[in-house]
Structure 1
Amino acid sequence: MEVTIRNIGNSKGVVLPKPLLIQAGLEGLATASIEVENGAIVLRKPAKAVRAGWSEAAAAVAAHGDDSLLMGEFGNAQDAELDW
């Protein structure tokens, strides 16, 4: 498949056909990761942010009451001497 490289201001751009985006799993995404590999321009789904979704997952666990401590509360004998 060939596409036209168009002038966009001082840059260049291409229009990616929808079937190609679907095949690559990029349909509906607003961003993509782009890099050059062995002389080819490669688009990929963006990597998920580190710990993405952890907050929501923790809230769901807490909502089900499954967030109790495994070992229960315990203190150290020397804690009374510490200034908090």
Structure 2
Amino acid sequence: MRTSLRKMGNSTGMIVPRSILGAIGATTGAAMDLRVEDGKLIVTPAERVARDGWAEAAAGLAATGEELEWLGLGVADDAKLTW
């Protein structure tokens, strides 16, 4: 299969057919790792890191106000603590 490089703003991009994305298990918007080996561009789906999605989850939680519920909870033996 052949595709062309295209100007995209100040960068250059490439349209990747859906069948190729499916073959490597990627979807539109997926993070990809790029490297060059022997003059060839190698593109692979990026591995997830431990904190992927945390920022979005925290923003969603903040929007609901649920993160404040813990403030009313006490800790066992609070009275014995010195600050």
Deviation at 1:28, TM superposition (A): 5.1
What is the aligned-residue identity percentage?
27
TM-score, normalised to structure 2, is 0.52
Q: Gapped runs of 5+ residues in structure 1?
A: 54-84
Please tell me whether Structure 1 or Structure 2 has the larger radius of gyration of its CA atoms: 1
Deviation at 1:10, TM superposition (A): 2.3
| Alignment correspondent of 2:45 | 45
More helix by share: 2
| Alignment correspondent of 1:15 | 15
TM-score, normalised to structure 1, is 0.51
| Alignment correspondent of 2:77 | none
| Alignment correspondent of 1:68 | none
| Alignment correspondent of 1:34 | 34
Q: How has the CA–CA distance of structure 1 residues 15 and 28 changed in structure 2, closer, same or farther, with 3 Å as cutoff? A: closer
Aligned residues: 51
Structure 1 range deviating more: 26-35 or 8-17 = 26-35
Q: Find runs of 4+ consecutive structure 1 residues off by over 4 angstroms.
A: none
More strand by share: 2
What letter is aligned with 2:8? Answer: I
Deviation at 1:19, TM superposition (A): 0.2
Deviation at 1:34, TM superposition (A): 1.0
Q: What RMSD over aligned residues (CA atoms) do the two structures have, in Å?
A: 1.9
| Alignment correspondent of 1:69 | none
